[in-house]
Chains A and B, each alone.
Chain A
Amino acid sequence: MRFIHTADLHIGAKPDADRAWGPAREDAVRHALERFADICDQEAVDLLLIAGDLFHFPPTEAMLKEADAQFARMKRTKVVLTAGNHDYLRPGCAFSRHAFPENVTLLAGPQLQTVSFPEWGADVSGFSYDGEILRDNPAAGVRPPRNGLRHILLLHGGDPDHAPADVTALKDAGWDYIAMGHVHRPSLNEAGKAAMPGTPEPLSRNETGEHGFYLGEMDAGGLTLAWRRFSRFTYTDLRITITPETTQASLEALLRRRLQTDGSEVCRLILTGRRDPAVRFDSGALLDLGPVSGVTDETLPDYDWDVLAERPEHDLLRRAVRELAPADGDEDPLRQKALYHALDALLASEGGKQEVLR
């Protein structure tokens, strides 16, 4: 049996809605299921597992109708899905009363439900959320039936507020594969029996790196899993080391060469290193250069601490350094920021003396 394990499609989400590339992002998220239908067809997939949060919020009838159209295209693929903490089921809501096509099974109960596929020698169990929070895991302590089939568990959550799960205990309980969802970054446990595919399309600038799904094959011989990239779009952290020679213009020129303009990548700029104390980078101008989701300026003024140390003992500047500088090995961002604010202001007041510190 060939299967695809995905989760957290979050159809309806509008990442970066206020940015120029927002509509393209929304479009990519909306068409994710359509692309899965294509992949299921191309890869001859028997079973599509969606471990919760197919939708970004409880879906409307219109959204379900759109999903039905894609499910109906999966001629040879059966679909098993659960509702997660975003698209949870409420009594009488459109999701819970929707009649899906025959090839689709929604495990809608808050308790563990099972759908069997004897033709493939497997069954799939899972449960759906009825609210945003689920502090008791319905699968905890439950053993799959001894029916000679291989057992797959759909599990959305894993953290204390969302079906807390001990994956090792679940695996020991007899589940052959635990298809997880909820966390947006992909991960695979050491034994290869539990996987979190993450979101097929990244949903925020914090979700950097590649996004995709697991393509699995389960038969009498066991389970094989392969990671496949899905997202056409990537958020990346672009770290740029600043030197005292770097200016706004040189930084902008560098970024113009580096930034992708085909819409496939959005960068979060992280400026590190030492800058000329007199230079302040204009984040707004950097954001306007292209697909830049944000600018984090971690640069520090390139002060010459030896020169500062040459000041008289009672000089306010030297005392401020001594008072605010974090101790060696002590990471205290607040004190460090305060120190640089104090130095900036003191040197500005001292006027014309900043070059002494370079």
Chain B
Amino acid sequence: MKLTRCSLDQFGKLTDKEFDLADGFNLICGSRGSGRTFRAALSALLFGSAQEAGRGTLEWERDGRAFRVERDLTRTPPRAAAWEKTEAGLRDISAADLPLPPSLTPHTYSHTLTIRLPGAGTEGSPAGECRRRILSLQSCGNEDIVLGTTLADLKEKRRVLRKQLQPEAAARMAAVRRGLAEAQQADFSAAAEDWNDEKERLADQEARARRLTEERSHMTRELQARQALLRERRLDDPEAVKKDLETASVLAGSLANFEECYADSRFFPGAVRLISYLSLPVMLLFFWLVVNSFQTQRYGGAALASVGFFLALLVSLRFSRKQDALAAQEKNRKILLGLLEKYMPAHEAAGTAQEAAELQEYLTKVSETFTYLEDREAVLQDKTEELSRILGDNEAISRNLEENLTRRLARERWEDNVRKLREEEAALQPVLEKNQALEEEIAALDLAVETLAELSARTAADPGAALTDAASRIFREITGGRYRGVRITGDQQLLAEQDGDLLPPEALSAVTLAQLYFSFRLAMIRLLWPDEPMPLFLDGSLASCGGECLASLVSWLRGSYRGQVFLFTSPEEGETMPEDPEIPFRKIMLD
């Protein structure tokens, strides 16, 4: 493809300009920015880019045919017309389908056919920049893409997304589902149905137990007081009291009887004893008189003596009984006095029937008290037994209630647990959805990283290798054989080969570095358009890289490149550009 002529109007400062373009070298001289405008104007005319306003025509030749395009990009929509120049004149062709070389696109026009030395206007060392661009060309086919940065960017995105993942949510959800599944096995059928009745019953029982306890306590205190009083009066032996009561009863009766029957005898106990003692001899005397009278047959005397005998016998018997009664009364009195001393010590006793009766009465009361205490003890025992039974019942009821309470609490815990599990399930659901979305993004990033890495490897192995071979040949030629070529190692090291040495870009001079980069760019152009020489646009940076550099590049281009070359420079540099008759060029002044 060869550009032959162009006219530009309203492209920035380029207004109403016409240029005839040479076959070989074109030195484009213009103030700062005008070269870029010129290139953009050509691109706009070729491709109809709406980003550049202006109008003009462009003519070119290709495969022996000539074409012309005319565009007005200042209008909306832009206008375009195209023709093919034939011997018969102009033939209309479609402006939308111009016969351009394959692969010639705005992108390849701007990024492949236009060459700008690396390092110019960028930060960092020119050698580093040069290496980066060449390696990018070799591994990506695009010198502007830094694959390491790209992959790092993707991995950083992936890291950020992974950080947002909540991996515990899935485990927690599984635990929640397990919990819910376990919850549906719950069984509370053993829980009491009469919960309230049981509670009321227990309350009644407890009230009754309290009453019994109080009664029992009261009775116990009473019994203890009475028993203490009895003990104080030495009445702690109910059997002895009972026996003494019987004795006192007998004594009271006996003494009363004696006093009633022998009230007078007590005043003459000696006379009674005397008469009692004398009655036996008198009786014996009358018996002798009776016997003697019968023997002497004095029957009258015998009869009188017999009467006397029987009278003496009667007196003896009477006074003998009196004497016995007196003896018994004395004995009883002594016993009575003993009992009175035992039970009524404060009492001044005479041993009378009256005292015996009082003692009997006293002991009767004591005995009754013992009986009362026995009865109360029996009642107390009954109450104790009842209390014990109630307490036993209460314990059973309480145990039952406690079991019910435990079951009820278990049920309430279950209800609470299921509620919480449901709430947690609802809360986890959006987290899981978010996790899923994040995982999909992460998977997409994984795929992107893998794909780019794989594509990079394939690029390096396929077009990259061909690129390096072609660049090596050009590099060897440009440097006049000083360098045999260039190598790109498996670990992405760029090395220039010279006399058996392998030199990194940092070891190369600026000129050699520029030559190296130029070699790769030209190699790229040859790979893209192997059969058709394309116009080459050399940025102003090449013109300013030094005479030696420029001379070597131009020399090589003249001998080895069949396409047009547009070398952009400033008017000042253009003026000082040496005129070399071996390298004819057309100078085009833009300003």
Contact = CB atoms under 8 A, between A and B. Distances in A.
Contacts of B447: 324, 334-335, 338
Contacts of B188: 90-93
Given A310-B107, A316-B145, A350-B142, A57 B452 contact: no
A319 B142 CA distance: 11
A65 to B, nearest CB: 13
Contacts of B455: 316, 319-320, 323
Contacts of B477: none
A59 B427 contact: no
Interface in B444-478: 444-445, 447-448, 451-452, 455-456, 458-459, 462-463
Given A349-B150, A350-B144, A341 B528 contact: no
Interface in A79-116: 86, 88, 90-94, 97
A257 interface: no
Nearest to B458: A319
Contacts of A92: 187-191, 407, 411
Contacts of A356: 106-107
Nearest to B420: A57
B448 A341 contact: yes
Interface in B128-150: 139-142, 144-147, 149-150
A12 interface: yes
Contacts of A93: 186, 188, 411, 414-415
A32 B8 CA distance: 77
Contacts of B427: 17-18
A190 interface: no
Contacts of A323: 451, 455
A130 B189 CA distance: 13
B103 A313 contact: yes
Interface string A6-42: 0000001111011000000000000000000000000
A132 interface: yes
A91 B452 contact: no
Given A13-B426, A57-B419, A312-B141, A90 B440 contact: no
B440 A337 contact: yes
Interface in B162-211: 180-181, 184-191, 193
Given A90-B184, A94-B415, A312 B452 contact: no
A269 interface: no
A196 B546 CA distance: 85
Contact of B184 (A132, A294, A335): A132
B444 A12 contact: no
- Of the listed residues A132, A317, A341, the one surrounded by the most CB atoms of chain B closer than 10 A to its CB is A341
A13 B157 CA distance: 37
B368 interface: no
B141 A315 contact: yes
Interface in A328-358: 333-335, 337-339, 341-342, 345-346, 348-351, 353, 356
B153 A312 contact: no
A320 B142 CA distance: 12
A310 B108 contact: yes
A341 B105 contact: no
B369 to A, nearest CB: 61
A86 B422 contact: yes
A56 interface: yes
B184 A131 contact: yes
The secondary structure that dominates the A interface is loop
B426 A341 contact: no
A94 B411 CA distance: 8
Contact of A346 (B190, B426, B452): B452
A335 B170 CA distance: 25
A307 B107 contact: yes
Interface in A60-77: 60
Contacts of B451: 320, 323-324, 338, 342
Contact of A353 (B112, B144, B187, B527): B144
Nearest to B467: A314
Contact of B443 (A60, A315, A334, A348): A334
B154 interface: yes
A356 B180 CA distance: 56
A92 B419 CA distance: 17
B418 interface: yes
A48 B154 CA distance: 59
A52 to B, nearest CB: 15
Contacts of B524: 312
B105 A320 contact: no
B337 to A, nearest CB: 84
Contacts of B187: 90-92
Contact of B144 (A130, A133, A351): A351
B106 A307 contact: yes
A256 interface: no
Given A337-B440, A342-B154, A312 B106 contact: no
Nearest to A352: B144
A306 to B, nearest CB: 9
Contact of A324 (B157, B443, B448): B448
B441 interface: yes
A238 B386 CA distance: 79
Contacts of A86: 422
A319 B444 CA distance: 17
A311 interface: yes
A132 B153 contact: no
A316 B456 contact: yes
A314 B144 contact: no
Contacts of A132: 180-181, 184
B141 A341 contact: no
A130 B153 CA distance: 54
A197 interface: no
A324 B453 CA distance: 13
A12 B419 contact: yes
B412 interface: yes
A157 interface: no
Interface string B408-442: 00011011101101110011011000000000110
B459 A316 contact: yes
11 contacts: A131-B184, A307-B105, A310-B108, A311-B108, A312-B141, A312-B528, A316-B147, A316-B452, A317-B145, A341-B154, A345-B154
Given A311-B105, A315-B142, 6 more contacts: A57-B421, A58-B418, A313-B141, A314-B527, A337-B441, A342-B452
What 3 A-B pairs are tightest by C-beta distance, nearest first? Answer: A92-B188, A310-B105, A337-B444
Interface of B: 103, 105-108, 112, 139-142, 144-147, 149-151, 153-154, 157, 180-181, 184-191, 193, 407, 411-412, 414-416, 418-419, 421-423, 426-427, 429-430, 440-441, 443-445, 447-448, 451-452, 455-456, 458-459, 462-463, 524, 527-528
